[in-house]
Amino acid sequence: MCTGIQLRTTSGSPIYGRTMEFATPLQSQALVIPKNVTFTGVGIQGLPGKTWSSLYTMTGLNGLGLERIIDGINSEGLCIGAFYFVNYAGYQDVSSEDSSNSMCSTDLPTYLLSTCATIDEVKTAVTKILVNSSNPSGSGSPLPLHYNVHDKLGNVLVIEYVAGNLSVLKNPVGVLTNAPNYDWHLTNLGNYVNLTQNDIPTWELKNATDPTKKVSILPLGQGSGFLGLPGDYTPPSRFVRAVAYSQYSAPVDTIQDAILQAFHILDAFDIPLGTIIDPTSSNPAEYTEWTVASDLEGAKFYFHTEGDRTIRLIDLANWDFQGDAVEYLSIDQGPTIINMADLQKASALAS
């Protein structure tokens, strides 16, 4: 369960952001990957998949210690996120002869980030490789994913594999959640064309006892234009809310303000631990593990975690790369709580 949005500054600079929800603790780390790192994708039946080298530097968050990015950005401002797509993802049939030109679903974001600079290059790249039904561990079921792709010009794509077929779809609203498929979510927006950021002042009714007069019904508070906005955690409801919030958020002038705006919006999609339970699962509780935002023009990657709301930054343009090794950075720094009494004492001493 994840929610992704795009915002723009008043000058048009794009900002991408998303939440990551999962029931299993992902134990995510921040990866910083230089150029010329060699990767080999997961093939079929224990065979190796496609081998490639990184053309661009990139950074993002992984899961379970894998050298693969779940959500991240490269030096060219291309940003890709993997989103759960359960019951709908169906990958391509791959023969043993084609295994060396294939990879599993969790390989794809890293492959595209390391070899593509623009949306157009992504469109071409995905038609030349195959995504198979292997698990990243080499055994078990594939992870059902679809992909949210943004570039520094603000172009947005959704990549989906359904029933063995590849679909590359324009994403005009810049929002992605989970199942069903993206086109269904766009169609479903038609059920909410009444939503508006403007409060509804009154509802004028006929007066049953005096036809010459009206009965004015006043709203019970602010926000009457959003009456009917779905508030549950299902993917369709989160998609509608994410469209409404990102479309109607106040315009901001600077990239930093847009980054903060993105986090503020995405915090509204946080799932507290314990509010969603799957009683049939060994890991029953789904919750928000981390939230990220990316400055696509500046190739800057921001994140905070469930246990630490401090926003942290990785700036690819100013990173001191240590040779050709992948760097793994802990994102679990612990909660940052500032005691205002300490600031008061420091201020008194300074004066």
Determine how many CB atoms are found less than 10 A away from the CB of residue 80.
Answer: 29
> Does 283 score more than 80 pLDDT?
no
Distances (CA, A) of 204 to 195, 208, 219, 222, 224: 19, 12, 11, 18, 15
> Does 291 score more than 90 pLDDT?
yes
- How high is the pLDDT of residue 235? 97
Tokens found for residue 59: 């950074």
Give the model confidence (pLDDT) of 184-206 as tens digits.
999 999 999 999 999 999 999 99
- How high is the pLDDT of residue 285? 84
> Does 9 score more than 90 pLDDT?
yes
Read off the pLDDT of each residue in 50-62 and give the average, rounded to a whole number.
Answer: 98
> Does 336 score more than 90 pLDDT?
no
Question: Whole-angstrom Cα distance, residue 347 to residue 342?
Answer: 9
Give the model confidence (pLDDT) of 118-130 as tens digits.
999 999 999 999 9
Query: Which range, 83-87, 277-281, 323-327, is most confident?
Result: 83-87
If DSSP states are collapsed to H, E and C, what string results for 197-238? Answer: CCCCCCEEEECCCCCCCEEEECCCCCCHHHCCCCCCCCHHHH
Q: Pick from 300, 175, 185, 188: which is nearest to 249 by CA?
A: 175
Give the model confidence (pLDDT) of 142-186 as tens digits.
999 999 999 999 999 999 999 999 999 999 999 999 999 999 999
Distances (CA, A) of 193 to 38, 175, 331: 48, 16, 40
What is the pTM for the complete model shown?
0.94
User: Please, how many CA atoms are within 13 Å of residue 295, restricted to the half-sphere of its CB?
Assistant: 21
Does 66 or 139 have the greater pLDDT score?
A: 66
- How high is the pLDDT of residue 14? 98
Give the model confidence (pLDDT) of 60-71 as tens digits.
999 988 999 999
CATH class of the region 4-193+228-350: alpha beta
Give the model confidence (pLDDT) of 245-276 as tens digits.
999 999 999 999 999 999 999 999 999 988 99
